[in-house]
Structure 1
Amino acid sequence: MIYLDYQATTPVAPEVAKTMQPWIEEKYANPHSPSRWGNEAEAAIEVARKQVEKALGAKGGSLAFTGSATEAINWALKGTVEKAPKGRNRIITVATEHAAVLDTCEWLAGRGVDLTVLPVLLDGCLDLDLFERELDERVLLVAVMMVNNEIGVRHPVSAISDMVHKAGALMMSDAVQAFGRVDVCKGPDLIAISAHKIHGPKGIGALWMRKGSEPAPLIHGGGQEQGLRSGTLSPMLCVGFGAAARLADERCTLDYDHVQKLWNAAVHALGPGWIVNGSVGHRYKGNLNIRREGVDAARLIADLRDVAFSLGSACASGSGRPSHVLRALGLDYRAARSSIRLGFGRYTTQQELVDACRRIAAHAVAQEKLDA
């Protein structure tokens, strides 16, 4: 199989798997136990926490492990609303955000929060003038992602954070697709990240919180994570996240340069007739979302069973509905259903990517001839 679905998940790095192994087999103590073995597990978790914090590069706050980035996002949004000062009851977000943000915001709107969902330009970028006009003294929180999971578009989150702070509001950013791939933007008060997007294990994410911006707890129980997030932590998952973060930090430039070369090779191998969805200039190029008129993307995936690629977000692709991100770019139903997402990274070789792209292009042309 040729794996081109890096936005959905990444292969676990061999170094990460090796680091996790002892914590799967013999080091099974509860890290919150006062025993010597529990203390050892707790110490390993704290080392992992520091590794993730270093790779993230955010200063002046703390990081709490969660069960996923989705949990971290829910916690950031709901917990901030729970602690909202009087008079601030408005959230601003963007139409191309991940469902974890949009669905949580809609849930909050159903409970009285004033929600504004801003459109994007045709290239997927946010109109900053429009955004600035929307900021007022009622805004509590702004949620804008760093790198879009479906089209790879990068928002200027640092500049947006400055505008948000001038309005006296808080900034939350989904950095799941940015962390470990590009420099994480400075400025947000709350940042959600995930391990399995950086060659770590599934089942663990984290929320970084600027001091003074910590949301109210979402999960209650033992208060294991700084009194803010309850639940027994898994040393295995935490250690895996830490190892993946350390490796990503060490390899960031190398991985980034590799991805740039892969993008150029993929575009060349696909040949003419394809249109890139989203900005090319403001983009993480490990995400190549493209469309071709007349192509049935679902059929293309079915025809190429040994190449793993997708229609868009893995979280929503089973619904049968066209991507909300592509619709936000102004694409109609037909154009959205003619789009595919190719995701590649550290362990993708140029030869396998070129081979896959040539086969995708050949099958697309065959579809056109068959349907003509």
Structure 2
Amino acid sequence: MKTYYFDHSASAPMWPKVVDTMTELMKLHYSNASSLHRSGIEASKLAERARASVAERMGAMPQEVVFTSGGTESNNLALKGLVGISARATKHIVVSAIEHASVFECARQLEAQGVQLTIVPVDREGRVDVAEVVKAIRKNTVLVSVMHVNNETGGVQPIGEIARALAEHPHVKFHVDGVQAIGKVPFSFAESGVHLYSGSAHKFGGPKGTGFLLVKEGVELAPLFGGGSHEHGLRAGTTNVPAVVAMSQALRLSLESLDDRRLRMFGLRRKLRDIVEGIPELLWNGIGVDPDRENDTAPHVVNISYPGMRPEVLIHMMEENGILLSTQSACSSKSLKPSRVLLAMGHDADRASGGIRISFGDEHEANDLDELGERLKQAISQLKALEKRSRPG
């Protein structure tokens, strides 16, 4: 039986060319990029070329690129780094109610340490109101963090509007978690008005354990780790040269084909909406399918609910039929709690507990969606039959 992988938002397959590049680099360039001998200098040059490539693709300057171990570290460095460097006696931060756990739980940690925290609500579509963000600003606010693309629903946040509004409050720095956006949604750091932007390689076809934080020139952060002076003094630790070079190549491949990939994946999204509308037990969560609103959603993430049904039951039934899906985000998929994101969008506990995420990528074609639809119908039919047999009387 063929297996269909519809969990790209958790982790995307590496580009085959990137696998080859990284394998070759691990064989040839194993020296520490901080070493002074010739081999170390060659490794350092490779890392700096990768930094320049990431900067060019993201619309940043090389000195604004900080290599990290991935999105979680980038997000923690942004939040804790800004709070740690601030000289204010009492500090205040603002995050949205639908942030990824690496932002949301980091903000909660800071709150437990005495930092004041405001959580901005979202509407039924999962979008932040810019006016609510501005209303939350105080004199001691040091940071606003609002994600670019939500990892559960694919909704795109109005980060351009937020950046323009925050320009009226120069004491506030704006961080954006861009992990789910890169390679799916157009973005230029230089043009965005954003101060910090997080990325993770394995979401756009690069290796796991590698990412970056874009830090606007002039923005100061306190490092998370004590140690060497790597990454402009912001990230101690030996540079993973094969991984950062592989990441830069994956980023190039993803962004070179961005327009074509978006067009194709939006076609798949429209087809999936037709499938969901034909299965009355399923509800669509988030922004629907509207050609005039494609800027409001990423093309590759869809969230549906089977209210009253534990999602892991449907997930396992689909896996037995060769379809790999997920519940919530990968970081929260083993939790039996309702989705924090769907609850924040105003859905009841039944709907929020029954959420399923479908996320696709470059390998998928229309016939793959047909297979997904047929196997969804079969699984739900089996579940309904089981429900009937289990009812008393």
TM-score band, normalised by shorter chain: over 0.9
Residue identity in the other structure for 1:339: G
CA RMSD between the two structures: 1.6
| Deviation sequence 1:101-130 (CA, Å, 0-9, x none) | 111111111111110011111111112222
3-state DSSP class of the match of 1:226? helix
Q: Contact 2:311 / 2:327 at 8 angstroms: preserved in 1?
A: yes
- The within-5 A match list for 1:58-137 is 58=60, 62-86=64-88, 89-137=91-139
2:286 matched residue in structure 1: 278
* Aligned equivalents of 1:111, 1:173: Cα separation in 2: 23
Whether 1:199 and 2:215 are equivalent positions in the alignment is no
* Aligned equivalents of 1:357, 1:32: Cα separation in 2: 52
* Aligned equivalents of 2:364, 2:337: Cα separation in 1: 29
1:146 matched residue in structure 2: 148
Whether 1:161 and 2:163 are equivalent positions in the alignment is yes
**Identical amino acids, percent of aligned pairs:** 33
1:265 matched residue in structure 2: 271
* 1:293–1:82 Cα change, 3 Å: closer
CA deviation after TM superposition for structure 1 residue 59, in Å: 5.4
CA deviation after TM superposition for structure 1 residue 88, in Å: 6.3
Unpaired runs of at least 5, structure 2 = 389-393
3-state DSSP class of the match of 2:334? helix
CA deviation after TM superposition for structure 1 residue 61, in Å: 5.8
1:256 matched residue in structure 2: 262
1:11 matched residue in structure 2: 13
CA deviation after TM superposition for structure 1 residue 371, in Å: 1.6
CA deviation after TM superposition for structure 1 residue 180, in Å: 1.4
| Deviation sequence 1:52-98 (CA, Å, 0-9, x none) | 11221235961010111111111111110111143661101111000
Normalised TM-score (structure 2): 0.91
* Aligned equivalents of 2:16, 2:344: Cα separation in 1: 38
Q: Contact 1:258 / 1:345 at 8 angstroms: preserved in 2?
A: no
2:40 matched residue in structure 1: 38
Residue identity in the other structure for 2:21: T
1:300 matched residue in structure 2: 314
Q: Contact 1:55 / 1:180 at 8 angstroms: preserved in 2?
A: no
Q: Contact 2:279 / 2:377 at 8 angstroms: preserved in 1?
A: no
Number of equivalences: 372
CA deviation after TM superposition for structure 1 residue 356, in Å: 1.5
1:230 matched residue in structure 2: 236
Deviation larger for 183-192 or 97-106: 183-192
Residue identity in the other structure for 2:266: Q
| Deviation sequence 1:204-225 (CA, Å, 0-9, x none) | 1111000111311111211111
Q: Contact 1:89 / 1:113 at 8 angstroms: preserved in 2?
A: yes
Q: Contact 1:193 / 1:205 at 8 angstroms: preserved in 2?
A: yes
Q: Contact 1:224 / 1:231 at 8 angstroms: preserved in 2?
A: yes
Q: Contact 1:109 / 1:115 at 8 angstroms: preserved in 2?
A: yes
Q: Contact 2:88 / 2:140 at 8 angstroms: preserved in 1?
A: no
* Aligned equivalents of 1:176, 1:143: Cα separation in 2: 13
Whether 1:338 and 2:332 are equivalent positions in the alignment is no
Normalised TM-score (structure 1): 0.96
